[in-house]
Amino acid sequence: MESVDLFEHITFSPLVPTERFPNLPEIGGFVFFAGIVRNINEGRRVNHLEYEAFPEMADRMIRSILSDAGKKWDLLHADCRHRLGKLEISEIAVIVTTGSLHREEAYSANRYIIDRVKHEVPIWKREFFEDGTSEWSQGCTHEQHRH
């Protein structure tokens, strides 16, 4: 049975970078960030990841973060999509895109959005290692989270 995505910002479907580019002629600066599943973490070889969430709450919180970013910067575009389920090495877990008249706002807003999503949204990552073990990611420390 094929899964149907019910939320705008949370998906079980693969994320495709080319689908995230807006067609807005006013945009002078566009920033694209993709969080990609890597094969190593803290010296341990990673086999794959699994993301879990409360999708409705996560979607609502991402909407709120995007709205907050729009209040802080003069953005013409802001979007964030996060994938759930099993992800293999090199697959995209999250995409954040921002666009504004100038690059500085787009860069600042993009960093703000991904930092808040990573630290505040109820999405949990479980890492599966090549040695057969797995553990839930500890996430970022408070010192790493600045916006």
Q: How far is CA 138 from CA 6, 33, 70, in A?
A: 28, 22, 29
**Looking at the domain assignment, is residue 9 inside a domain?**
no
Kindly report, residue by residue over 3-19, the tens digit of the pLDDT: 455 689 999 999 988 76
**Looking at the domain assignment, is residue 144 inside a domain?**
no
Tell me which residue has tokens 């839930």. 136
Tell me which residue has tokens 């666009």. 99
**Looking at the domain assignment, is residue 4 inside a domain?**
no
**Looking at the domain assignment, is residue 79 inside a domain?**
yes
**Looking at the domain assignment, is residue 20 inside a domain?**
no
**SS3 at position 46:** strand
**Looking at the domain assignment, is residue 125 inside a domain?**
yes
Q: What's the burial of 138, exposed, middle or buried (CB within 10 Å: 0-12/13-18/19+)?
A: exposed
Kindly report, residue by residue over 99-118, the tens digit of the pLDDT: 999 999 999 999 999 999 99
Check pLDDT > 70 for residue 42.
yes
CATH of the domain at 86: 3.90.1170.40
User: Range of 127's domain?
Assistant: 26-131
**Looking at the domain assignment, is residue 110 inside a domain?**
yes
